[in-house]
């Protein structure tokens, strides 16, 4: 184009096109913001995870720079024929079920109480969250002193109030029949507040008009709880159960400090077994295979939980 002074000027459409191409859109800006975190995850989590899965197909010498022999699925055949692995798997499942069930029941009850109290529960909510700030290793050591045989504080208190005849009547950490339940107590004490916090946040998002309409129609509290509150809390419940289920299934430090997997391997979970296979028995290949199976199972459990509890898209159906 030629201006009035006789000079040449750029085409306005072309200049606008250049600006649109150089303009940073919201999607590109978001991608740039996530790029450092994505690179960090790829380098420090993604690549070690790939290497971990690959090691499961090799027989690796425990010393640094040792031999690596490809054995294919040999490690997986070995672990599924190993009674210790199968028993540890069942104990891990049982431990996770005990912990998550108790935490959900207690957390839901406390969340309902906090929701009913409203603003009056601020102080109680703050105090109730204190155990969540304690390190698991510290909680395990604390409860070990509380539950230790013969001179534990719990048995001493139960003896003084007359519930037990002697402080040695119940051997919380030495009896193989109840040891798994005993080591789960610190985990429940630690993270029940997490379930409470998540469920309480979900309860705050439920419209009060829905509950008020149900009360006007004559619905009692059990009906409101099971027909209205719990269905509306499905996404929140799914998130809470998946996060806590995976976290409970990988419990390590709480159990290690209390019983070290004993007595008679009654509290040896998969995390402890993988650790001992890697460190004590010096078999990184077999330990990698165990960890890979654990990873696949956890992903499958999380997927089933999402589809069965959350049921994405079900709220859109009439």
How confident is the model at residue 182, as a pLDDT? 92
Beta bridge partners of 60: 68
The Cβ of residue 193 has, within 10 Å, a number of other Cβ atoms equal to 21
Strand, helix or coil at 58? strand
Phi, psi of 98 (to 5 degrees): -60, -50
- Would you state the structure tokens that stand for residue 155, as one six-digit string? 């048995």
Residue 123 burial by CB count (10 A; 0-12/13-18/19+): exposed, middle or buried? exposed
| Residue 177 belongs to a domain | yes
Strand, helix or coil at 60? strand
| Residue 156 belongs to a domain | yes
| Claim: this prediction has a pTM higher than 0.75 | yes
How confident is the model at residue 131, as a pLDDT? 87
What is the domain count for the chain?
Answer: 1
Q: State pLDDT tens for residues 102-157.
A: 999 999 999 999 988 888 888 888 888 888 888 889 999 999 989 887 778 888 88
- Would you state the structure tokens that stand for residue 296, as one six-digit string? 């696949």
| Residue 199 belongs to a domain | yes
| Residue 247 belongs to a domain | yes
Domain hosting residue 118, numbered range: 85-310
Q: Residue 218 pLDDT more than 50? A: yes
- 250-270 average pLDDT score: 90
Alpha carbon of residue 160 to chain centroid: 38
Q: What is the CATH number of the domain that holds 306?
A: 1.10.3720.10
Beta bridge partners of 253: none
How confident is the model at residue 108, as a pLDDT? 93
Q: Rounded to an integer, what distance in angstroms lies between the CA atom of residue 312 and that of residue 206?
A: 18
Q: Rounded to an integer, what distance in angstroms lies between the CA atom of residue 249 and that of residue 259?
A: 17
- 58-74 average pLDDT score: 81
Q: State pLDDT tens for residues 67-114.
A: 788 888 989 999 899 899 999 999 999 999 999 999 999 999 999 999
Beta strand pairing call for 58-60 and 68-70: antiparallel
How confident is the model at residue 235, as a pLDDT? 86
Q: State pLDDT tens for residues 7-21.
A: 445 555 555 455 555
| Residue 51 belongs to a domain | no
Q: Rounded to an integer, what distance in angstroms lies between the CA atom of residue 129 and that of residue 193?
A: 5
| Residue 317 belongs to a domain | no
| Residue 276 belongs to a domain | yes
| Residue 301 belongs to a domain | yes
């Amino acid at each position: 184009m030629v201006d009035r002074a006789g000079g040449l000027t750029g085409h306005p459409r072309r200049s606008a096109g250049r600006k649109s191409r150089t303009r940073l859109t919201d999607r590109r800006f978001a991608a740039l913001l996530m790029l450092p975190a994505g690179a960090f995850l790829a380098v420090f989590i993604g690549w070690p995870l790939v290497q971990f899965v690959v090691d499961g197909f090799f027989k690796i010498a425990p010393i640094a720079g040792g031999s690596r022999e490809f054995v294919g699925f040999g490690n997986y055949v070995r672990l599924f024929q190993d009674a210790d692995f199968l028993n540890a798997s069942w104990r891990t499942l049982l431990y996770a079920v005990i912990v998550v069930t108790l935490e959900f029941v207690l957390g839901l009850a406390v969340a309902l109480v906090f929701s009913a109290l409203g603003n009056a529960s601020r102080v109680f909510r703050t105090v109730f969250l204190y155990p969540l700030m304690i390190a698991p290793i510290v909680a395990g050591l604390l409860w070990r002193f509380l539950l230790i045989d013969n001179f534990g504080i719990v048995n001493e208190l139960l003896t003084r109030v007359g519930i037990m005849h002697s402080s040695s009547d119940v051997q919380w950490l030495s009896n193989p029949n109840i040891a798994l339940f005993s080591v789960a107590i610190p985990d429940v004490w630690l993270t029940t507040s997490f379930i409470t916090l998540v469920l309480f946040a979900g309860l705050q998002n439920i419209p009060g008009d829905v509950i008020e309409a149900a009360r006007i129609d004559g619905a009692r509290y059990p009906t409101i709880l099971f027909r209205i509150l719990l269905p509306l809390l499905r996404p929140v419940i799914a998130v809470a159960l998946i996060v806590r289920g995976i976290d409970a299934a990988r419990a390590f430090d709480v159990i290690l400090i209390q019983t070290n997997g004993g007595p008679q391997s009654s509290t040896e979970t998969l995390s402890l077994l993988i650790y001992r296979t890697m460190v004590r028995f010096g078999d990184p290949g077999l330990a990698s295979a165990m960890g890979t199976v654990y990873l696949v199972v956890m992903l499958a459990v999380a997927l089933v939980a999402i589809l069965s509890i959350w049921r994405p898209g079900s709220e859109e159906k009439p």
